Amino acid sequence: MTALTNLLDLDSAQLIAYCGELGEKPFRAKQLQRWIHQFGASDFDAMTDLAKSLRDKLSTRAMIASPAVLKDHTARDGTRKWLLDVGQGNAVETVFIPEENRGTLCISTQAGCAVNCRFCSTGKQGFNRNLSVSEIIGQLWMAEFELRKSKSIEPGPKGERQITNVVMMGMGEPLLNFEPTVTALKLMLDDNAYGLSRRRVTLSTSGVVPMMDKLSQECPVALAVSLHASNDELRNSLVPLNKKYPLHELMAACKRYLEYAPRDFVTFEYCMLDGVNDTDAHAQELIALVKNPRDSAQSVSCKFNLIPFNPFPESGLKRSHDERIKAFARILSNAGIVTTVRKTRGDDIDAACGQLAGEVQDRTQVQARMEKMAEYQKKFGSNFGRIVEIVK
């Protein structure tokens, strides 16, 4: 029996080719794409402007299916997290962050992560597998129409879009799952699908230099780089990938990327770790890393996003104190670098940055370690592991 083709796996060009195999003209692919990505349709019979003969073909050869929702949690601040089944005991998490003027969806690209950054609980579970296109874009497809349904907003381009921004900052390293990630990005940008601006789609990488260059040529979107250290020795210990692509190579890659990027800056994400990377000296090293006082052309146009660490058992790390984070931010700001401090959202449902270990298949017993959180809170106080907004 022939397996059904999941149409969520196909971008515009692939869908045209698929329709061609069915003996259909290219305009049918555009109609089909709009039904799928603008109306959220999964039933071919509902696609009323398609010829019945085409609907009959599709009903026996194709399907439209995103990963099944295992759990759906909404935090006190409105942040919503879905746990999605991707088969063989694996699951990933998708997080929606509502704000006054936008709605941001944080998407996963892998089940687990192979990069194993020291401060990230997701990486501690180990790497399970790459996600397919349908599993990546399916997160956006599911979330957009689930949010509309919960607010009684009609599907289709006339309905108010709920997701205005997408960040690939969920589980996994997107550039280590390059082809499916880029295909999903193309669908996000396609006017016959979601029509998002390149400026409103951000890919976060730990610094896979060759793939950064490849992305700049194939599908440049806004770029965020998980930096977290001001020198190679420190970054080697926090982000093991740095041993392969050290800071001078990473900075050069960032400058190359900016030639094609939709924004004129790279965002450097920097997790604030008490006594590890948060001293005045570290801040000064960062300034020297990204700014060349003698030749501005050699500087990296950037902004810094300081992220209060979300502690988890056995990480061996603690969150920097609020005053230290403020002082660190002031040093960067005084040097003319735009600097923000991330407000952590959804921490009561483990949807905050670095917490997406989830209820997924556990390669290194992270679940058992996470269960120790109650013990740590009893020992160190109820606020251990919880992040509050830091006001500058």
Just list the catalytic residues: 93, 353
Tokens in use for 11?
Answer: 């971008």
Please tell me the distance from the alpha carbon of residue 209 to that of residue 215, in angstroms, as a whole number: 10
Taking a C-beta distance cutoff of 8 angstroms, is the pair 335, 291 a contact?
Answer: yes
Please tell me the distance from the alpha carbon of residue 171 to that of residue 354, in angstroms, as a whole number: 9
Please tell me the distance from the alpha carbon of residue 225 to that of residue 203, in angstroms, as a whole number: 8
Beta-sheet pairing, 90-98 with 103-106: antiparallel
Maximum Cα–Cα distance for the chain, whole Å?
69
Please tell me the distance from the alpha carbon of residue 29 to that of residue 225, in angstroms, as a whole number: 36
Q: In what order do the strands lie in the sheet with 266-272?
A: 68-74, 80-87, 90-98, 103-106, 165-168, 201-205, 222-226, 266-272, 302-308, 338-341
CA 198, 261, 268, 110: dihedral to nearest 10 degrees? 60
DSSP letters, 306-338, are EEE----TTS---BPPHHHHHHHHHHHHHTT-E
| Phi, then psi, of 148 in degrees rounded to 5 | -60, -45
Please tell me the distance from the alpha carbon of residue 43 to that of residue 46, in angstroms, as a whole number: 6
